[in-house]
Every structure is written in structure tokens, then in C-alpha cells.
Amino acid sequence: MAKVEYDLKTYICQHMSAEIGTDIQKAAELLIEGKVVGIPTETVYGLAANALNTDAVADIFRIKNRPDFDPLIVHIADISQVELYASLFHEKAVKLAEAFWPGPLTLVLPKRNNIPFSVTSGLDTVGLRIPRHSLTLELLKQLPFPLAAPSANPFGYISPTIAQHVADQLGELIPYILDGGPCTVGVESTIVGFDKSFNPVIYRKGMITLNMIERVVGKTQVFTHSQSNPQAPGMLTSHYAPRTPLKIISSNDNTNNFSNRTGFLGFDAYHPLIPQNNQILLSPSGDIFEAARNLYASLRILDKLGLDVIYCSLIIGIPGAEALNDRLRRASV
């Protein structure tokens, strides 16, 4: 009987879904114990653990099934903490931090030795950012360490923008999800690193755009894709994808074999040849920021319809669309 009871308890523990709540103290206690916790940010929900604890960091990779060559972003509470974890915080990096933090910008800087190489995938640099979310900022202020926190989803799948998305995907693998409501930005942070002459380089596009960055620090290069051994998080070519094949077409394409099992993700207009019940508009009013907030949730809805294929069109001629087009390209087949 004891063996049966033990097996039942083991089964229940393994199949319990994570608790969702707003208890910052509980989240902090779990993180201090070395556990992995779901946290909200303005971009997407993160899968967070003590960035200085190699066992906790290893759990992030295991839970996400993330390859160990893909580095993690480290979240801090205040700009004064940068020099605790980065060995060089040079002038252009300071200007960008002062302009955009807290906010959806990650800065890649030379790391100090207290940041484990497991966080940076062996690189001598670390991605740092201050999230613009009141719950997570308060959580970070209560912790004696920074948080490594990639998106809280199985590697390669659509990123989560509400707490329930995290529970649906990883709820059996983590004990707690701090619920901060829907993400207000909706796509991952812009990542900026620097070359040997301290010239800025965009490694991942986000809602902090090239133009915004150049207004602060001048000419900036863009280098955003890598098949393997990326120089920063979020550079892998294939990412953010639904299970249903996603294909990019032109908005006026009428050459494909559209059917009742065809879906469409549009920006502000429906496709005339696809059943409207199988379509979602990111922003009927044409608001790029609304579209960004709705992107991942819309892909999830379409992915659950049992379709054969989802078509989408890139967003043309709208300032700020670069990040959304980047995610669509990486999610497509």
C-alpha cells in the first residue's frame, strides 16, 4: 500500500499545474530556494531563476528544452546594478540605458565573473535589462540576486503574453506563476550589443526601433540572425512558431489553394478568399502597438483551430513594424 500511495503522490505532484497568483513574497521565497518561477514583463512572460545559481539556471534550460548554446537575458532592478554584473558600462551603453530603461531594451556588455558561463552559453558578454513591470521590479528589489529569464514557453514555440499561456505550456514543471496581467508590449526586447570600437549593433529587433536607437547613440548596425552559436539571445533563425505551418504570402495573393482548413493572420484587413471565421486581425484600426500586443495570442488561437496551414502577410509601410515582421519570418516555414 505504501508503494501505491507513494506512486500516487508522485503522479499528482508531476501533474499539478502551477499556482497562478500575485504574491510577490511567495515568488521571492521560491526563487531564493533555487526554484524556477514564471514572471510578467512588459514584453512577454519570463521563466525566471537565480542567475547566479548554476543549478537553477540549468533547470531553465531543462524546463524549456532550450539548447545550451542559446544565452539567457539577465534582469536587474536598477541601473546602479549594471556594474555588479558587467565589467564595462561604457558611454553609449549608459546613454541607451538612461533613455530606455526600464523598458524593452537589452544591452549586451562584458560580463563579470559572478555571472556563470551557463547563463551566457560560454560567451564573455551578458545581456542585461530592467523590465518595465511593477510586480517584477518589486520582486527584483526583494532579491539578493538578478534573474535569468528567457520567455516562459517550450523552446521555439509561441511566446506567452498572459499567465495562463505559461500554465498551459509549462504549468506541470514549475510551482508558481506571478500574474501581472497581459503584457503591454507583446514582443521580446530589442537587443543591442557593441563592436570592439563600442559602435552599437542590433542583435534582435523589438519595439525600440533602429531609428530610436540612432537618435540616442548615432549610426547602428543590424545583425539579427544566427543558425547556431548566437552572440546574443533571440538570434536563432527559426523561433516563435505555432505547430500549424505558418506561411508568408502577399496581401493580394489569390494563387494558393485556400480551403475551409486555411487560416489567415492579418494586420488590419481580412483576406477575401479565406473563411473569415478562420482569420484574426492584429489591429483593425491599423495600430502597430496594438498589433504587437496581439501577435502571440492571435497565433495561439489560430494554432488551436486544427487548420492545415496559417497564412500571414508582412506589414508594409508602417513605422515600427520591423519587430513584428521579424517574428513572422522566424515563425514561418
Residue 74 phi, psi dihedral angles, 5° rounding: -105, 130
Tell me if residue 198 falls in helix, strand or coil.
Answer: coil
Residue type, 51: A
Average pLDDT, 10 consecutive residues per value, the chain (333 residues): 38 66 98 98 98 98 94 98 98 98 98 98 97 98 98 95 97 97 98 96 96 98 70 72 94 80 96 95 97 98 97 95 95 88
Query: Domain 2-186 adopts which CATH fold?
Result: DHBP synthase (3.90.870)
Domain residues of the chain, as ranges?
2-186, 246-331
Distances from the Cα of 96 to the Cαs of 67, 78, 251, 282, in angstroms?
Answer: 30, 14, 36, 30
Scanning the structure block, which residue is given the C-alpha cell 501581472?
180
Scanning the structure block, which residue is given the C-alpha cell 496551414?
309
Q: Look at residues 213, 192, 220, 217 and name the one whose alpha carbon lies nearest to residue 204.
A: 192
pTM exceeding 0.85:
yes
Chain length of the chain: 333
Cell numbers for 67, please give them. 539548447
Sign of CA dihedral 137, 139, 143, 146: negative
Do β-strands 147-148 and 46-50 pair in parallel, antiparallel, or remain unpaired?
A: antiparallel
Do β-strands 309-312 and 262-266 pair in parallel, antiparallel, or remain unpaired?
A: parallel
